Chains A and B, each alone.
Chain A
Amino acid sequence: MNMLMLLLRNLARGPSTDAFPFGDTFTPERLRGRIRFDPELCTGCRMCAHVCAGDAIHFDETDEGLRFTLWHNTCTFCGLCEHYCQTKAIHLTDDWHLAHLQQDKYAMIEQGVVAPAACAECGGRMTAPVPALTAMAYRASNRRIEHLQTLCPDCRRKAGVKGGRS
């Protein structure tokens, strides 16, 4: 009798086969898929490249600024980059539609250029700290901290030695 009930229930439920690729499919909420990089939030610490298991993340200096490149074809989608990114510049989306033809192999990248800032003191090129980073480092911001953020590491060191009288 139990078996008959089970059969009837299964008949009423219909097929359990996922409709994909002819229809929609489900995507788990926390699925780790295609990676998105936000250059506005990146502070150029390169921790993501350091922890990357598949060596998928590379940084290089270009004329436009610090360029972040991630190749999805060697990324294990482990999520370490997102975990270690203090400013949340890297995010693993739930987009898993990554299958591609061979001619697109080297186009499967995520790229972004972190725009350089000019040092307020010497005018040299630097990667500016982002607000999220200072919010973590200091309990509250003040004028001195805001001033230090506009300086390049060398000028910041000099300003530190002078004890804030710069």
Chain B
Amino acid sequence: MNPASIEFLCRSTTGFGKIALEHLPSDLTAVGAQKPLVLTSKSVTRRKGTTHVINAFRESGMTLGIVDSINGTASVDTVGELAALYQDKGFDAILALGPHSVAHVAKVLNIAVSDTPGNLRTLSGNGKIKRPLNPLIYIPSGAGSGFETAGEASLDALSFSSPFLMPDKVVIDPRLMAQDSLEAVTGEAMASLACCAEAHGTTANPLIRSYAATAISLVMENLEPCLQPFFNPKAPRRFFPKAATNEKALAGLATAAAISGYLFSNCDDLITVKLGRSLAGFSSVNPGLLMGVLLPAVLEYRSGNAAGTMERLLLPMTGLDNYCATPKEQRFDQVLSILRQLINGLFQRSDAAIPRTLSDAGISLNTLEQMTTDWPKPILTHAHSGNPMKQGDHHVRA
């Protein structure tokens, strides 16, 4: 199927793998930056993530500024202090090292210190930032929300959306990956899977599909190794205790999360992500896990849409052999089956810490009834109970 016209924008370069951090000095010099400011959190500093970044700049001749007090309670006042520091000390680039709170603060700081007309309040909203900002590099250090690389940021009551908020480069180095909690790791994986699966199945844009297929494969290959320490923990060695050995799998998940951020900025109609974020206000569960719960219901709901072909999702999920061996009419059913088995398996192995349905996540039917004015009722109903939407031989059309 060849669409009449396509659009795709990914402003970020992604660097992954061994000594990816050591490319930073040359990449910063290429964009005209000589003195970056590193924003990070105390947890990253404790895990020696900052040490790796400092070591990456050895022999570069560059001076780094490091602020490691960024956390989830950062506010617009924090950004004001950082902006004053940035301008007084003459920094010319921002490195955001850490979780999504650091990424958001870095993006908002970049708006404040770049030469953009207006202030933060006038620039908040959709599409108000119309020119490139100062160089911004994002370096994940563990499980995030899955959308740190998207062109959006929010701080206090202000939210910003613009393609120019996407980082110029994303550096994923396995040395920086640290094992977070089960919910955080699974939430990141499910958020990426939900975003990319829905994007892949509902669009005919070949560029979006390529990125989405890559991310889906990364999640399916790397999720299980990342969860091994939780479900099959090994006793630590008494002498010379070894650090976590699944850094590569965590880095694979981080790459999938970076891709889902790119796709989220290119797809306006991802119900799974938007509905998951809305429902997060009614539950203490990680929004990514809610997106994973919603995914089968959303795919079923949207399977009647002629723009995409859901059956192609089987290819990145299981590989070429299984895709070719499965008849075309059965592929979508197998996709749903794999997703439901994945979610149910996580529920069972985590002793119900990871929800299978919206009712497991503590969201009542009454709450969902109130949301049916804004969101399709079949999705909410079926995600709440876990019942498949398929009736008889046909899927319910959208």
Our verdict on whether A and B bind, yes or no, reads: no
> Which A residues form the contact surface with B (CB < 8 A)?
none
